[in-house]
Homo-oligomer: A and B are copies of this chain.
Amino acid sequence: MLDRNMLSNTAYVILGILQKGPTSGYDIKSKVDMSARFFFTASYGQIYPELKRLEKSGLIAGTERLNGRRARTEYAITSTGREALLEWLRTPSAGIDVRDEGLLKFFFGGKLDRDDLLARIEALRAERVADLERIREISRCVPDEADELQLAVLDYGFGLYDYVIDWCDRMLTRFGSREESEFPVDRWNPDDVLTLLQTVGGGDTPPT
């Protein structure tokens, strides 16, 4: 299955960032952290080796710039790199891959009594709110060039957390209060998990 020169997602992310202008490995990391953190992360341990590999393959080219005595290697995407990126964009993607330890703990809380379970959900909610707060803080200073797609994925990310926190709230009313009907569930009926799919799946997609 190894296509002799398959690139990793990290590689494409680097190409994607570089497409917007030349940058250093250090800056790539912070740009990814600030803009793509809702659906991708990368550490220096991945970025720096990948930059070397991409340069060796001729998809990017590095230039030494020194401000004073501080060395800084700025990488620029080559035309081959641009082609590789464009080709990747046209390719079908893998599914969403979510890892959520908090939800895992909720899921296995079956032997807990009600109060303990509620405390767990409250904790989960609080964690998510805190996560969101942290991300919000980071994102505040982002829009350097404020491109449309960057705003769109921010929108995606914040909305995602909005959904997750709402779900926590729904679970709190569902497992907590006895006067459940006081808090109407407006979006869809959580007790009927399977029927809602008709609404979602049978919508407005053109027949393939």
Contacts and interface: CB of A to CB of B under 8 A. Distances in A.
Contacts of A100: 39-40, 96-97
A1 interface: no
A109 interface: yes
A60 B89 CA distance: 46
Interface of A is mostly: helix
Contacts of A208: 126
Interface stretch (A22-30, A47-55, A63-71, A146-154): A146-154
Q: How many copies, total?
A: 2
Interface residues of A, number: 90
Interface in A147-176: 147-156, 158-165, 167, 169, 171, 174-175
A19 B109 CA distance: 10
Interface in A173-193: 174-175, 187-188, 190-191, 193
A45 interface: no
A7 interface: no
